[in-house]
Structure 1
Amino acid sequence: MPLRMDGGTTTDIDRTISTLPSTKPLSPRTFAGQVEQALQQRFPAHKIQRVLDSWKLLDMGYEHRAFVGMEQNPPIADAANSRCYQHAPSYVPGLKAIEWWDNAKNDYLWAQKLSKSYKDIRNEFISVISNPEKLEGGNNIWAGALTTDAASYGEGWKTLVLLNRGQWDETNAKLFPVASRAIHESGVPAAEVFFASMKPRTNIKPHSDLTNFVLTSHLPLVIPENGKNKCRLSVGDHTRQWIEGEIIMFDTSIYHDAVNDSDEMRYILMLRVWHPDLTADEREALQFIYDCLEIPELLSDDPETVFIAEHRAKMMRDFPLRNARGGGGFGGVAKGRNTVQKKSKK
């Protein structure tokens, strides 16, 4: 039986396999049905069919569970002794499920650009968190778990949000202008962005982030005993250490866990980015669902109410700092690669 990084066994990994059920149109009398209708009015149905299916599956209470070891390179065939299981109640069919998306820095222009700002982001971060007076002006600084599922990760994990569901936290963006501009100007295709801390001598239990249409990318900022394997992350069957300044990308719908074996705090910049297999229309459709969850007036029958709601949604998504240049979608793909073309929080 494989071992977790905290020394326990992986017997708590759920190895259930589910079968994708058939779906049917939702009732227009429900919120979910109104969202479905709005999606069909705003987008050609054939271009967002996977998103429509995902929304209906979520409304049905379907939870996708699958062994994805055979999708890895090299394939993992021993399902009985593997941790490479995906669990995603928020599930868009047809997206690759790969533990580690190697060479993210080389494959995606946004990652290349962001990595160049590492030192500036790190210096600003250390300066701000070292100044209690500055932090007092922030919003939900180092918040704990917001859900029951997240609470099971452990007490040592805290976050400081810059972007949530595609919407900027203006207060915190102004608190960290260097980091916020670097993220924006690099064109990071982000659904969520936050700093994450991890206390010394703590671990995060094996879990899934329950969503397969966003991947997770880390820019390690402060790693105690950097390069000495004290701070580690395991996704599926493979474990790696964080290295300061080295961007990594992985799929957190696959069971994963982490450990800080050092005597100091660990800090990273966490980016939840749209899965690269999604099309531009699918990302926009998923963002529209996020917007509807925040602003239900988008579903109103009154055109004026919808117009006001759309303006509000746009304002919430607009980058809040002035004199910042715009960024691109999935950042384009680095030279030599084909161009590629969208939920959750701990």
Structure 2
Amino acid sequence: MSDEHQVEEKLHELIRSWGVSTFSERIALQWIKRFLGSDSGHDAFLRLGKWIVLQLNQRRIPHDCSSWQVGCPELIPLLRSTPVWDCSEFPWIQTLESNFAVIKEELLALKNNAKSAFQPYRAPSWASDIDTKDGLGSAGHDAGDWNVLYLFLHNVNFQANRQMCPKIAAIIESIDGHYDHAFYSALAPRTHIKKHHGPTNKKLRCHLPLVVPEGKCRLRVGDEVVYMQEGKCFVFDDSFEHEAWNDDDTRSRIVLIIDVWHPDLSVQERKFLSFLRNAQLRMDKTRCQDSGDNFYSIIKKAGEANTSTHEVVWS
């Protein structure tokens, strides 16, 4: 077998591992060959070519990543790596902050909703060593209580939640580069989210603190610490190791979390990475039918169980 044929076989194996359908496999192969043929430092596909070479060589960590990112499952080379970003790079931050009062009012209206849309944060059992009381997946916190209300989660339908929060849903949809992942995150008093990494460096995470006990809530990202202030956004790269605290004894902390594409990624790169993400989501949902420990199955079951109490969310 020639070297060229061996490479072709490896490419097909890689594409199939992404969950791409037989119909889409040829399209994906054309994209990849385009990436691998790029040798220009200004070519939008250069970094994806390097990322694919890493995978073909069964390597995960690019040479240019920070030591704080090493635990992240997916790292794309040649993306700026900084734990906390300057908000001036994101014009839509001004829209969020100028609408803070409206967004907070819409959130607080949920307090009087007879049916809580918040649900316990849960992850697959392999993602954490912290067991849950209900035996559903694993927990991300080792003290206190952590609950979430999803607004957007890729192709998972949370339309009912968005209908309860139409103003913020519309603002999120207007954000250029929205990654189709946004939710409210509520930390009960004395809660600690243990140190962990997000799934990828191809996105960044924005926090808009809505209900924050003054001076009691902080987030560590790499070696930087951010103290939260109501109405003041901050953007960080959650591929860096990070953890969060609500040290208040009596009051909850609630923030709006919005993920956006990494600004270094071109429209073409986002298009290809979205293509892969959607393929992987379809594969995960198929596996969900066979495995109760799949991320999407756990989210669905956590929502159906509806065990988030009014007190832990709205203290």
Q: Provide the rounded CA distance (Å) in 2 between the counterparts of 1:85 and 1:187.
A: 26
Shift of 1:125: 0.4
Partner residue in 2 for 1:237: 223
Q: Provide the rounded CA distance (Å) in 2 between the counterparts of 1:39 and 1:101.
A: 32
Aligned pair in 2 of structure 1 residues 55, 94: CA closer, same or farther (>3 Å)?
same
Partner residue in 2 for 1:154: 141
Aligned pair in 2 of structure 1 residues 168, 219: CA closer, same or farther (>3 Å)?
farther
Secondary structure of 1:87 counterpart: coil
Shift of 1:272: 1.4
Partner residue in 2 for 1:123: 105
Secondary structure of 2:96 counterpart: helix
Q: Structure 2: any 5+ residue segments left out of the alignment?
A: 1-6, 36-43, 129-137, 284-315
Partner residue in 1 for 2:201: 212
* CA displacement 1:119-159 (0-9 Å, x = unmatched): 1111110111x124253xx4xx3232122325352162222
Aligned pair in 2 of structure 1 residues 32, 121: CA closer, same or farther (>3 Å)?
same
Q: Provide the rounded CA distance (Å) in 2 between the counterparts of 1:201 and 1:239.
A: 18
Q: Provide the rounded CA distance (Å) in 2 between the counterparts of 1:273 and 1:162.
A: 14
Instruction: State how 1:104-143 maps to structure 2 within 5 Å.
Output: 104=87, 106-128=88-110, 130-135=111-116, 138=117, 141-143=118-120
| Equivalent residues of 1:232, 1:241 under 8 A apart | yes
* CA displacement 1:210-236 (0-9 Å, x = unmatched): 311111110011001x2x2x1010111
In terms of fraction of residues, the more helix-rich structure is 2
Aligned pair in 2 of structure 1 residues 29, 95: CA closer, same or farther (>3 Å)?
closer
Partner residue in 1 for 2:84: 100
Q: Provide the rounded CA distance (Å) in 1 between the counterparts of 2:107 and 2:55.
A: 37
Partner residue in 1 for 2:160: 171
Q: Structure 1: any 5+ residue segments left out of the alignment?
A: 1-21, 70-82, 297-346
Q: Provide the rounded CA distance (Å) in 2 between the counterparts of 1:251 and 1:111.
A: 16
| Equivalent residues of 1:87, 1:208 under 8 A apart | yes
| Equivalent residues of 1:36, 1:52 under 8 A apart | no
Partner residue in 2 for 1:184: 173
Letter in 1 for 2:158: D
Partner residue in 1 for 2:248: 262
Note if 1:199 corresponds to 2:196. Answer: no
Secondary structure of 2:192 counterpart: strand
* Identity between Structure 1 and Structure 2 (%): 27
Aligned pair in 2 of structure 1 residues 238, 32: CA closer, same or farther (>3 Å)?
closer
Partner residue in 1 for 2:292: none
Paired residue for 1:248, among 222, 225, 234?
234
Shift of 1:40: 4.0
Secondary structure of 2:235 counterpart: strand
Q: Provide the rounded CA distance (Å) in 1 between the counterparts of 2:58 and 2:188.
A: 35
| Equivalent residues of 2:151, 2:182 under 8 A apart | yes
Aligned pair in 2 of structure 1 residues 253, 293: CA closer, same or farther (>3 Å)?
same
Secondary structure of 1:30 counterpart: helix
**What RMSD in Å do the two structures reach over aligned CA positions?**
3.1
Partner residue in 2 for 1:307: none
Partner residue in 2 for 1:293: 280
* CA displacement 1:39-90 (0-9 Å, x = unmatched): 3446882454544654675687644287856xxxxxxxxxxxxx74443221
Shift of 1:190: 2.6
Letter in 2 for 1:64: I
Instruction: State how 1:7-22 maps to structure 2 within 5 Å.
Output: none
> When the two structures are superposed, what TM-score results if normalisation uses the length of structure 2?
0.70
> When the two structures are superposed, what TM-score results if normalisation uses the length of structure 1?
0.64
Q: Provide the rounded CA distance (Å) in 1 between the counterparts of 2:233 and 2:103.
A: 13
- What is the number of equivalent residue pairs in this alignment? 252
Q: Provide the rounded CA distance (Å) in 1 between the counterparts of 2:33 and 2:27.
A: 11
Q: Provide the rounded CA distance (Å) in 2 between the counterparts of 1:112 and 1:273.
A: 15
Q: Provide the rounded CA distance (Å) in 2 between the counterparts of 1:114 and 1:197.
A: 19
Q: Provide the rounded CA distance (Å) in 1 between the counterparts of 2:53 and 2:154.
A: 20
